[in-house]
Chain A
Amino acid sequence: MLEVNGLTKSYAKLVAVSGVSFRADRGETIGLLGPNGAGKTTTVSIISGLLNADSGEVLIEGKQVKSDTDPVKLKIGLVPQDMALYEQLTANDNLIFFAALYSLAGAKAKSAIDNALHLVGLADRANDKVKTFSGGMKRRLNLAAALLHDPQILLLDEPTVGVDPQSRNAIFDNLETLKSRGKTLIYTTHYMEEAERLCDRIVIIDHGKVVANDTLSNLHKLLPVTNVLAIELETANGFPTGQMLALPEVKSAELLQSTLRVGLHDLSRGAPIVLRWLAENGHSFRHVASEQPNLETVFLSLTGRSLRDS
């Protein structure tokens, strides 16, 4: 459905993306995960035709976009990171306008608008001006505007930035519905939990380069640990993290504020060893939980940096 081969784009001395490649099949959701400035938006801009790559190609069903009016563009729907709506117009007027950009008018447009508004749950606000909407509602309308011409590929550039958890969940529900309809979704985010929830495969980008491209389960296999024991200590001051690494089964140990996160190869064998050592050395704790390692851990493992610190 979508093939991205060796995209490179530079601005003067700054290399924004370098040799980015991945593919997305029909009905597949690909997450482009990376910190701010990693090159995600540049990649999406090149795919949607907003930017020309210095080298590399984008193929949509085997065809390149050759001009501004190339019909291949009809297969793409873009949800920009910035809100792309006219605040002074009603939701309906906005959608009529965006439908017309794809030559939809009359009954066809009305049907497309009704469907899009129902999908994002804004049918009852169709005649309200966008400026009266909450941030979450605007984000949902922003999504609806990209669906009117029924594109096969949806490019979503951080579509949940600045929204409340409830609206975020609503958007996730909308995207899952679209996925179930066979749409191909390219989803950029720096929230690993979003990528974990939505994406079939994840392309991790850092400093413009792809550092990993695989399914979530395969990415987990890249990790040196399969489980994490999170222990909330009574007193974290002066805790000897280094001594933990000497224990059998312990592969990593990291102290974040008062929470000690210990990476273990085998949870059932390693957990008793760690807890016993803490008790014997006088380190009391309030809470213990085990976790699966997540994308944050994967990113940390691949780049040596935390997503949030990047």
Chain B
Amino acid sequence: MIPFLALVRKDLKLFFNDRRAVIVGLVVPILLASFFGYLFGGQRGNAETSKVSVLVIDQDGSDTSRGLITQLSGDATLDVKPSTLDVARELVRKGKATAAIVIPKDFGRDAGRALFTGDAKPQVEVLYDPSHNVELGMVKGILSGAVMQAVSKEMFSGRTGREVVNESLARVENDPQMSAPTRKALRDLLGGVQQLNQEQERTGSSAQGPAIGGLSMPFQTKEEAVTSGQNVEYNGYAHSFGGMGIQFILFMGLDVGITLLMLRQTGLWQRLRAAPLSRTMLLGSRAVSASLTAGFILTVLFCFARVVFGVRIQGSFAGFVGVCAAFSLMTAAFGLMVAALGETVEATRGYSVMATLVLVMLGGAWVPTFVFPKWLQRLTIVIPTRWAMDGLDGMTWRGLGFSAAVTPIAILLGFTVLFGAVAVMQFRWRAE
């Protein structure tokens, strides 16, 4: 036991004596996690986010098109600015604007006709930056709602609306192919709208009454962020600190492997091998010291997040400790596997850094996995970091119970066994 404890204590001493290692292990992830946490919504989950920049080219100049622009400008998520077609196209191409909406000539009239009689619909062109697909969907949704409100308002209370209704009534009366029941139904509908328009014109109170503003959305939305409990707001720092912790602990594990590779080329390795120490003790002590270091890093990160950003472990504390411990062990085994499979230090550093970055990226430590394509999301099931992230998210801001931590812990321990077995089987003990 004395040699084992000495080996562990020595590793920890070397880690804490190396200021660079401590800074890389603690300060850098704290800085990055703070930055990402702010980007992901900050402490209350509703920090101000940048608006989507949208340009509008009004080629119609009608009351309807102006109403549409007013509707779009009123949306809190859009930053709407007028533009011309050429300028807008150039700005979108350069990435200065996310999308440009082109309202074509006669849009107001054609949209009204299409609304009542099914005539050809006007085409609203949306130019967009292909690197902003997600925002395009949002812009199209907002545009649809705004068009419905602007066009219906104009049709039921505006000058263009009255002209279109009168014109449509005349066409209904004079269409020889229309059946009598259909003619009657359309006459009643359009007649009602005409009567409403005349009443509004007579009273001059076009700004009164519920129908006066045209059609409006028949519902309202009430958003509720589903977190660990009522009145518990989402804290973006919980995810970012978990993600950055995982990233930097993986790099620490990588460092363990590289250090072991380098150690094998030194007199120190000869001295260790000359002592009456088992291989299990030599590798096991390194795994334990790496796990303790990883646990220490995670503890410091979450303590910082707790004190500075109010991140809480809303779920099972035992589950949180379990996930941290399992991930720490997995990282240590990963480092030993790197040392076992590595040939030269330089080559090993190269491919293991790449492997680590892939693990971090696919594990959702940078961005949540739900933004990945479906096939990639399915692939992440075999990525250990994804389970670590799921476990940490579950135990922190999602507020899940211990049962939700069991699967991530089991899978992480499974990876630990796998990596550890590869390390033990492939490790080259002899100083050839």
Contact = CB atoms under 8 A, between A and B. Distances in A.
B346 interface: no
Nearest to B273: A50
Interface string A100-112: 1111110000000
A106 to B, nearest CB: 9
Contacts of A73: 274-276
Contacts of A85: 268
A13 B274 CA distance: 27
Contacts of A93: 13
B277 A101 contact: yes
B274 A76 contact: yes
B274 A50 contact: yes
Contacts of B268: 82, 84-86
Contacts of B267: 80-84, 142
B391 to A, nearest CB: 35
Q: Which of the listed residues A50, A51, A74 has the most CB atoms from chain B within 10 Å of its own CB? A: A50
Interface string B1-44: 01101110110011001100000000000000000000000000
Interface residues of chain A: helix, strand, loop or mixed (majority): loop
A73 B270 CA distance: 13
Contacts of A48: 270, 273-274
A280 interface: no
Contacts of B273: 48-50, 68
Q: Which of the listed residues B268, B275, B278 has the most CB atoms from chain A within 10 Å of its own CB? A: B275
- Counting contact residues on chain A (CB < 8 A from B), the size range is 35 or more
A162 B98 CA distance: 67
A50 B266 CA distance: 12
B276 A68 contact: yes
Contact of B6 (A49, A51, A70, A97): A97
A68 B7 CA distance: 16
B270 to A, nearest CB: 4
Interface of A: 11, 45, 48-52, 68-71, 73-74, 76, 78, 80-86, 88-89, 93, 96-98, 100-105, 142, 145-146
24 contacts: A49-B273, A51-B431, A51-B432, A68-B276, A69-B278, A73-B276, A78-B270, A78-B271, A80-B267, A80-B271, A82-B270, A86-B10, A88-B14, A88-B18, A89-B17, A96-B6, A98-B271, A98-B275, A100-B2, A101-B3, A101-B7, A101-B272, A101-B277, A104-B2
